[in-house]
Amino acid sequence: MQALNFDLELTGFDFDEIQKLLDATDIDLDEPAEADSVDPADNTPIISKPDDLWILGDHRLYVAIVR
């Protein structure tokens, strides 16, 4: 996280708490996750489009275009 030049205090956790959480996972931050890759040959239809609002229990996810 420090290599990303990110202020950890913004998370509300201290460095030791975050490190403990990261150590408890099996995530390699240097390698992209398989879910992050897109197969251009995949013909699955796109479900989300800009201005969609997904209601996820108490949470809301708004789909927007960021440029």
Residues 15 and 7 sit within 8 Å (Cβ to Cβ): no
The domain limits of the chain are 2-62
- pLDDT value at residue 58: 92
CA angle centred on 55, ends 50 and 56, rounded to 5°: 120
Per residue in 6-51, pLDDT tens?
A: 777 788 888 888 888 878 877 676 776 666 667 767 777 878 888 9
- pLDDT value at residue 36: 64
| pLDDT band at 60; cut points 50, 70, 90 | very high
- pLDDT value at residue 11: 82
Residue 10, classed as helix, strand or coil, is helix
